[in-house]
Amino acid sequence: MHRSYKNQTLIVVVVLALSLLTACYPPPVKEADRPEQALIPVRWFYPRFEDDMDLTSLRESLERSLQYFARLSPEHAFVYGPHRYTCRQVMESQTAFLEMIRTASGPEDLNKRVKKEFLVYRAAGRDGQVLFTGYFEPILQGRLRPDSTFKYAIYRRPDDLIKIDLSLFNEEFKGKSIIARIDGKSVIPYYSRQQIAQGRALEGKGLELAWLKDPVDVAFLQIQGSGRLDLGQGRATRVGYSEKNGLPYRAIGRYLMEKGLITREEMSMQAIRRVLAERPEMVEEVLNYNPSYVFFRDLGEGPLLGSINTPITPGRTLALDSRLFPAGAIAWIKTQKPKVNDKGEIVSWEDFSRFVMNQDTGGAIKGPGRADLFWGSGPYAELAAGHMRHEGELYILMKKPND
């Protein structure tokens, strides 16, 4: 067993080393891939820092980021655009911000003190604009044993899935990794969605966490990254993101637009579900357009956790590209949210702004111009997450040094 593992590791090292050594030139690094380029210090024209929520939830979210920092080395470095700060400095900054929101006399006082006491960095985005989408915690029917109704499995991370840090072989690949599996003497990509869902590549390995009613439910649970399962007879559990198969994420909504089945204007999670319900013969074709596949872990009745392994807060947790933005950071966003009528229908979109915390990430959240806001659970959260696709502004805050 141990000997086999060593042989597999050797294969991985040899194959990757050869591939890197035989490459004529390393691939060029785009500016968007550099954390130093993702945030730009603001020296003039500050926004007005207003918040549309109760600050109690902000304090709760701040305390959760502080829990994350407490687990790290005090000298652990975080990149804020062109500047670097130690974990100790970030903790001091967030502790000061926490005290500031506790003692501010009101919104105007808070706005003035942020501008006076904190450095402000604006996300480079796409020409300064960030595309905001939303996610939520779905509640789905599931079972721990399959039957004629519940027959679509969600899986835990497979033992044969390996994640390889490419920076070990060449500094040009810093921050890059690949997901793979070993087949004989070859290192190959991990199984695709189609191989897992229709080819049953993982069947019989005891990896099933639960079974759902509908393959579309499985796909949307994977897009959201987590959810709550109603197991029947008063039982429930939460499942959260564990790992993915490493293949590129491709949006099924885009595929439906290319097929002429949804317009750009009507695009939403709800519209995708409607089309797939009306055309069941297309479900496999549409879902397999996205080869990416997410594996889960059972969270039991515990809280929903983000990428920094702390509970996420509805309306306050933001998911950003973890390669570019500092984990756990204080952020401020300005974009739009839906206004609904008493029938639960969106009647308009209104501007809003608030402080949020960078506590999560996502497979589709790539680059300095993307952000995903966690809305929580329930009808409004599902509606907002399903329809939100609006541009806005994103800023990151860091307390000014004492000197």
Query: What does 102-145 look like in DSSP terms, one character per residue?
Result: HH--SHHHHHHHHHHHEEEEEE-TBTTBEEEEEE---EEEEESS
How many Cβ atoms from other residues are within 10 Å of residue 43's Cβ? Answer: 8
pLDDT for 403 equals 60
For the packed helices 379-387 and 269-278, what is the interaxial angle rounded to 10 degrees?
Answer: 90
How many Cβ atoms from other residues are within 10 Å of residue 344's Cβ? Answer: 10
Confidence check: pLDDT of 32 > 60 = no
Confidence check: pLDDT of 122 > 50 = yes
Relative to beta strand 346-360, strand 77-80 is: unpaired
- Residue 262 is assigned to a structural domain of this protein: no
pLDDT for 24 equals 32
- Residue 399 is assigned to a structural domain of this protein: yes
Residue type, 10: L
Identify the weakest region by mean pLDDT among 25-29, 126-130, 198-202, 329-333: 25-29
Task: Output the DSSP codes for 253-319.
Answer: HHHHHHTTSS-TTT-SHHHHHHHHHH-GGGHHHHHHT----EEEEEEETSPPB-TTSSB--TTTEEE
Instruction: Give, in order, the Cα–Cα distances in Å from 267 to each of 81, 144, 253, 257.
Output: 34, 33, 7, 8
The total number of structural domains that make up the chain: 1
Identify the weakest region by mean pLDDT among 3-12, 127-136, 373-382: 3-12
- Residues 351 and 339: their CA atoms lie apart, in Å, by 10
393 near 40, Cβ under 8 Å?
A: no
Radius of gyration of the chain, Cα coordinates, nearest whole angstrom: 22
- Residues 224 and 184: their CA atoms lie apart, in Å, by 35
Confidence check: pLDDT of 1 > 70 = no
- Residue 173 is assigned to a structural domain of this protein: no
Model confidence at 170, pLDDT cuts 50, 70, 90, reads: confident
Instruction: Give, in order, the Cα–Cα distances in Å from 271 to each of 261, 278, 364.
Output: 10, 11, 19
- Residues 279 and 91: their CA atoms lie apart, in Å, by 52
Model confidence at 363, pLDDT cuts 50, 70, 90, reads: confident
Model confidence at 318, pLDDT cuts 50, 70, 90, reads: very high
134 near 388, Cβ under 8 Å?
A: yes
- Residues 146 and 362: their CA atoms lie apart, in Å, by 29
Confidence check: pLDDT of 8 > 70 = no
Give the model confidence (pLDDT) of 262-306 as tens digits: 998 888 889 999 999 999 999 999 999 999 999 999 988 878 889
- Residue 383 is assigned to a structural domain of this protein: yes
Q: What is Dmax (Cα atoms) for the chain?
A: 68
- Give kind and range of the element (H or E) at residue 100: helix 87-103
Q: What is the mean pLDDT of residues 170-198?
A: 92
Q: What is the mean pLDDT of residues 205-225?
A: 94
Domain containing 326: what range? 38-137+304-403
Model confidence at 33, pLDDT cuts 50, 70, 90, reads: low
- Residues 55 and 160: their CA atoms lie apart, in Å, by 45
Confidence check: pLDDT of 9 > 50 = no
308 near 76, Cβ under 8 Å?
A: no
Q: What is the mean pLDDT of residues 9-32?
A: 39
Identify the weakest region by mean pLDDT among 3-7, 37-41, 379-383: 3-7
Identify the weakest region by mean pLDDT among 58-72, 149-163, 319-333, 356-370: 356-370
- Residue 286 is assigned to a structural domain of this protein: no
Q: What is the mean pLDDT of residues 304-313?
A: 92
Average pLDDT along the chain:
90
Helix, strand, coil percentages in the chain from 3-state DSSP, rounded to 5? 30, 30, 35
Confidence check: pLDDT of 370 > 90 = yes
Residue type, 95: T
How many Cβ atoms from other residues are within 10 Å of residue 370's Cβ? Answer: 21
pTM of the predicted model as reported, rounded to 2 decimal places:
0.78
The tokens describing 38, both together, are 């993702």
309 near 64, Cβ under 8 Å?
A: no
pLDDT for 303 equals 86
β-pair partners for 130: 392
pLDDT for 11 equals 42
Q: Give the CATH number for residue 388.
A: 2.40.40.10
- Residue 220 is assigned to a structural domain of this protein: no
Number of H helices, E strands in the chain: 11, 19
